[in-house]
C-alpha cells in the first residue's frame, strides 16, 4: 500500500490534515496532489479515488489547477478542451 500524502506539509501547508475528510474534501485533496504531488502521491490518489472522480476535478470550471497543470492532466486523461 502506498503511504498517504496527507501528512506532507509540501502539499497541505495551510491545513490541519487531521480535519481532512477524504469524501467531503475530495476536490481539495485531488487538486493539491495533481498540482503539487509527486509520482508516489499520484499513485496514492489513483488508489483512493476513481478515474471518474479525478476527471471531474480536472474538468471543473473553477479548478484550482494552474494552466500548466490543467493542460498536463487533460493530456494524461485524454480530455478535450
Q: Interhelix angle for 39-48 vs 26-36, to 10°?
A: 150
Q: What is the pLDDT of residue 40?
A: 93
Is residue 7 in some structural domain?
A: no
Q: What is the pLDDT of residue 38?
A: 93
Q: How far apart are CA 18 and CA 8, in angstroms?
A: 12
Is residue 28 in some structural domain?
A: yes
Is residue 2 in some structural domain?
A: no
pTM, rounded to two decimals: 0.88
Number of domains forming the structure of the chain: 1
- Per-residue burial over 5-33, b if 16 or more Cβ lie within 10 Å, else e, is bbebeebbeeeeeeebeeeeebeebbbbb
Is residue 52 in some structural domain?
A: yes
Is residue 8 in some structural domain?
A: no
Convert the pLDDT of each residue in 40-56 to its tens digit.
Answer: 999 999 999 999 999 99
3 burial class (0-12, 13-18, 19+ CB within 10 angstroms)?
exposed
Amino acid at each position: 500500500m502506498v503511504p498517504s500524502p496527507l501528512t506532507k506539509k509540501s502539499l497541505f501547508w495551510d491545513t490541519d490534515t487531521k480535519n481532512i475528510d477524504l469524501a467531503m474534501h475530495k476536490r481539495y485533496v485531488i487538486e493539491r496532489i495533481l498540482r503539487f504531488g509527486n509520482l508516489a502521491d499520484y499513485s496514492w490518489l489513483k488508489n483512493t479515488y476513481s478515474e471518474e472522480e479525478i476527471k471531474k476535478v480536472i474538468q471543473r470550471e473553477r479548478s484550482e489547477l494552474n494552466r500548466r497543470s490543467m493542460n498536463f492532466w487533460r493530456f494524461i486523461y485524454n480530455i478535450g478542451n
